[in-house]
Structures are given as structure tokens and as C-alpha cells.
């Protein structure tokens, strides 16, 4: 995630960069750092105190920090763990300072109020605690909690596999959802761009539409949604080219639907075939970049796939 030089600047150099995550102890408190899909950072700090049942005071302190710093996006505090989502920073060299401003005041608060650190799930200090990869999120857990989480995820997988979607309503929902993506594609094209955000919106709306109408997204639902996304990008590309042709030929009395019907002939007639397919290829590339993680995550969710892995120090 960070170079050795940058990692040494994070939390007094107390953490270790494992390339896909950062973990370690800072002043005796277990800390993990993961990157989120949107480029933000998710920080987990293990802490609890007998004098602060449910970590209510800790929650109030971190929430108050949101009002005085721009480094904290959101907070989720449980009985034994504080999870903080940082705001985004685009310059990698500024990440340590960015995260330090978010985390160090919290560490100071924990230390001055004598919080203790242990398993992020149950809080125990009596058992050995190790860092585990739970579906890509890293947590310090005791072995008992790791086993319980793995068992719960296994049960959930069976539930997921037993749920089947309603195919036909799901297809209708996916098509309706994809229309919003087509609209965004059209609007962005009018501004002179082909953007990954259009592909992302198409994917999100397509999957959401299938889920709303089909009740659940299973493996066949994911396949349907991917096919709909592919079709939607092609359809949106046809629309924007037909609209450009309509603007060029409307004075000759040629309507939009006629342009849409014969757009391939128009492209060939004007020797724009290379540009047409180049734009279509770029549209698919932008869609892939914008929606890849969403599609992968949807497939994993549809199969109930999970991972519980003890990490090496």
C-alpha cells in the first residue's frame, strides 16, 4: 500500500505494510488499515474500557473529531472496536499525514483514558490475538472468534445458495435499471466525454433493478446483468451516434428514429467506421474500469463466497 519510507511516517512507524493492508500495534492498541473501493481508507482500532460500557464515550469523542478535522468521513463504534473511514486524499505522499491526523488524537484519547486492546470481536485479552483476513477486511481476532465468524459465513453461504431469483421479472428490472445508465452515457457524451462513471451507474442500476424485481441476485442473475450491461453500452452508443446524425440531417427532414434505424449505413457512408468502433471499444473499456469491482463483488455475493484466513506477521 505504502512505501517503506511512507509507512515509517504512519503512527510513529509502529505498523507494518503487507502490500494489501497495514497492521500492527500503536502504543499497545491493535490497528489495521485497508483501502476501500472508493479510494478511502478504513481504519480499525481495537479498544474497550470497563468504565465506558459499549464504548459510548469513545464514539462521542470520535464523532466530535469529525467537526474539527476533514480527515474523518464516517465512524462505526462497537463494544470492542472503532472503525473509521477516512476522507480521500489523492497524493500518496500525503497519506501518512492524512491518516495521522485522523488516528493519533484517538490513540491519545484511548491512552489517557486507559482503554485496553484485544480481540476486535469479543475484546478478550486472555487469548492470543492474530490478524485475520475476513473477506478482504483485516481484523485482529482470537481463534475462537475466527472460528465463529467462519461458521457464520458458512451458514450464510448455504442460505445464499438456497435462494433463487425470479428470472423473468429480474430481466425486466435489469433492463429498466440499465436505462438510467444509458441516460447518463447520453448526457456525458453531449459534454464531449466517455466516462467510467456512466459504466459504474449502469452496473449499479442494472444489478439493483434485477434485485428489486427478481427478489435476489443469484449466479444466473449476475450473468443476466452482465449481458444487459453489455447490451446497454452498445444501445447507448447507437443512440448517441443516431442523435449526432439527426442533428446533421434534420434540416433534410430526416427524423431521429430513421437515423437510429440506419445509423450503421450513415457511419459507412461518411467513412466514420473506425471512429464508431473506436468509441464503442472505449465505452466498453470505461464501463469495465468503472464497474469491474461491482460485478466481481456481486458474483461473490451470489455464490456466498467467503474467506477467513489467518495472516502471517
CA dist list (Å): 295 to 132, 134, 207, 221, 290? 25, 19, 9, 11, 10
Q: Which residues of the chain have a pLDDT value below 50?
A: none
Q: Are 86 and 72 in contact (CB under 8 A)?
A: yes
pLDDT at 90: 74
Domain boundaries, given as residue ranges, for the chain: 4-158, 167-303
Exposure of 10 by Cβ count < 10 A (0-12 exposed, 13-18 middle, 19+ buried)? buried
Neighbours of 94 (CB within 10 A): 11
Non-local CB neighbours of 281 within 8 Å, separated by 6+ positions: none
pLDDT digits (tens, 9 = 90+) for 58-100: 999 999 998 888 889 999 999 999 999 998 887 788 888 999 9
Exposure of 288 by Cβ count < 10 A (0-12 exposed, 13-18 middle, 19+ buried)? middle
pLDDT digits (tens, 9 = 90+) for 4-31: 888 888 998 999 999 889 999 999 999 9
pLDDT at 43: 95
Question: CA neighbours within 13 Å on the CB side: how many for 112?
Answer: 9
pLDDT at 37: 62
User: What pTM was estimated for this model as a whole?
Assistant: 0.69
Cell triple for 121: 470481536
Fold (CATH) for 4-158: Yope Regulator; Chain: A, (3.30.1460)
Amino acid at each position: 500500500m505504502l512505501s517503506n519510507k511512507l509507512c515509517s511516517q504512519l503512527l510513529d512507524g509502529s505498523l507494518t505494510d503487507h502490500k494489501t493492508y497495514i497492521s500492527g500495534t500503536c502504543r499497545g492498541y491493535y490497528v489495521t488499515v485497508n483501502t476501500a473501493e472508493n479510494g478511502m481508507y478504513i481504519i480499525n482500532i481495537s479498544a474497550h474500557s470497563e468504565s465506558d460500557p459499549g464504548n459510548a464515550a469513545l464514539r462521542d469523542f470520535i464523532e466530535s473529531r469529525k467537526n474539527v478535522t476533514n480527515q474523518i468521513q464516517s465512524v462505526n463504534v462497537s463494544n470492542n472496536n472503532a472503525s473509521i473511514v477516512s476522507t480521500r486524499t489523492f497524493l500518496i505522499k500525503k497519506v501518512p499525514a492524512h491518516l495521522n491526523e485522523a488516528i493519533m488524537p484517538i490513540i491519545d484519547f484511548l491512552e489517557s483514558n486507559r482503554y485496553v486492546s484485544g480481540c476486535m470481536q469479543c475484546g478478550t485479552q486472555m487469548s492470543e490475538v492474530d490478524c485475520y483476513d475476513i473477506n478482504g477486511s483485516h481484523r485482529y481476532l482470537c481463534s475462537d472468534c475466527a472460528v465463529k465468524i467462519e461458521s457464520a459465513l458458512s451458514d450464510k453461504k448455504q442460505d445464499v445458495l438456497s435462494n433463487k431469483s425470479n428470472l423473468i421479472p429480474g430481466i425486466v428490472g435489469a433492463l429498466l435499471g440499465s436505462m438510467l445508465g444509458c441516460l447518463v452515457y447520453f448526457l456525458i457524451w453531449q459534454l464531449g466525454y466517455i466516462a467510467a462513471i456512466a459504466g459504474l451507474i449502469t452496473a449499479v442500476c442494472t444489478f439493483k433493478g434485477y434485485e428489486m424485481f427478481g427478489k435476489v441476485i443469484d449466479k444466473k442473475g449476475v450473468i443476466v446483468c452482465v449481458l444487459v450491461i453489455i447490451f446497454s453500452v452498445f444501445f447507448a452508443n447507437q443512440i448517441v451516434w443516431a442523435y449526432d446524425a439527426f442533428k446533421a440531417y434534420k434540416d433534410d427532414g430526416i427524423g431521429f428514429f430513421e437515423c437510429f434505424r440506419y445509423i450503421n449505413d450513415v457511419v459507412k457512408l461518411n467513412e466514420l467506421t473506425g471512429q464508431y468502433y473506436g468509441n464503442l471499444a472505449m465505452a466498453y473499456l470505461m464501463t469495465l474500469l468503472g464497474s469491474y469491482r461491482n460485478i466481481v463483488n456481486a458474483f461473490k455475493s451470489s455464490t456466498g463466497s467467503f474467506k477467513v484466513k489467518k495472516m502471517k506477521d
